[in-house]
Amino acid sequence: MAIVTEDGTGKSDAQSYLSLADADAYFTARGVSAWTGSNAVKEAALIAATEYIDIRWGEFLKGSLEFPDVQALLFPRLNIYDSEGRALTGIPQRLERATAEYALISLSQSLMPNPTVESSGKIIIEESEGTGPLTETKKYHPGYLTKRPYPKADALMSCFIVGSAGTARVYV
């Protein structure tokens, strides 16, 4: 079954900001060989990427829904401008590219993994055990990481984020 791609008209059944054909062309043009799998696998990755964008960035997006009564996704939006003051309408190219980059990541890992958390609430970021003099080490995140950074895709999203001056913001 083909995914329903948002085309800027506020589709009520849209599932992705980027079509499979456009994602294939994006990665082919860049020589990215990791974009592999059946069409169904790649479509699932595009849906996961779109869902991630809406969940991760939703509360920080500039502008407002263009078709609030019908659109399934958080784009298209009104009142979003690039750094040159040009209106970003429909499904902007940077959003499509971010969708592609997040989709590529989702082929090999979960975009929103459940962290390993000790009973104390500390998030473990590294753990090792030794066999020699019985050593065990754990490294913890210094706070409580709630959002994992994906530098390239996050940077592509930066122009849509409130308070962003063109750089990706990572919230921890």
| Same-domain status, 136 and 108 | no
- Closest Cα partner for 101 from 35, 167, 2, 158? 35
Is residue 38 in a domain? yes
Residue 168 has pLDDT above 70, yes or no: no
Is residue 15 in a domain? no
Mean pLDDT for 52-60 is 96
Residue 163 has pLDDT above 50, yes or no: yes
Task: Give the tens place of pLDDT for each residue, 82-136.
Answer: 888 999 999 999 999 999 999 999 999 999 887 667 777 776 666 777 776 677 7
The pLDDT value recorded for residue 65 is 98
Is residue 58 in a domain? yes
The pLDDT value recorded for residue 166 is 46
Question: 1-28 burial, b for 16+ CB within 10 Å, e for fewer?
Answer: eebebbeeebbeebbbbbbbebbeebbe
Segment holding 127, helix H or strand E: strand 124-129
| Same-domain status, 59 and 121 | no
The predicted model scores a pTM of 0.82
| Same-domain status, 86 and 120 | no
The pLDDT value recorded for residue 110 is 92
| Same-domain status, 77 and 102 | yes
| Same-domain status, 94 and 131 | no
Is residue 1 in a domain? no
Domain that holds residue 129: 114-147
* DSSP structure class, residue 137: E
* DSSP structure class, residue 160: G
Is residue 11 in a domain? no
Task: Give the tens place of pLDDT for each residue, 9-39.
Answer: 999 999 999 999 999 999 999 999 999 999 9
| Same-domain status, 119 and 103 | no
Mean pLDDT for 34-57 is 97
| Same-domain status, 128 and 96 | no
- CB 105: neighbour CB atoms within 10 A? 19
| Same-domain status, 44 and 118 | no
Taking a C-beta distance cutoff of 8 angstroms, is the pair 143, 81 a contact? Answer: no
List, in sequence order, every residue forming a beta bridge with 136; answer none if it has no partner. Answer: 129
- CB 124: neighbour CB atoms within 10 A? 13
User: Cα–Cα–Cα angle for 51, 161, 78, nearest 5°?
Assistant: 85
Is residue 133 in a domain? yes
**How many folded domains does the chain comprise?**
2
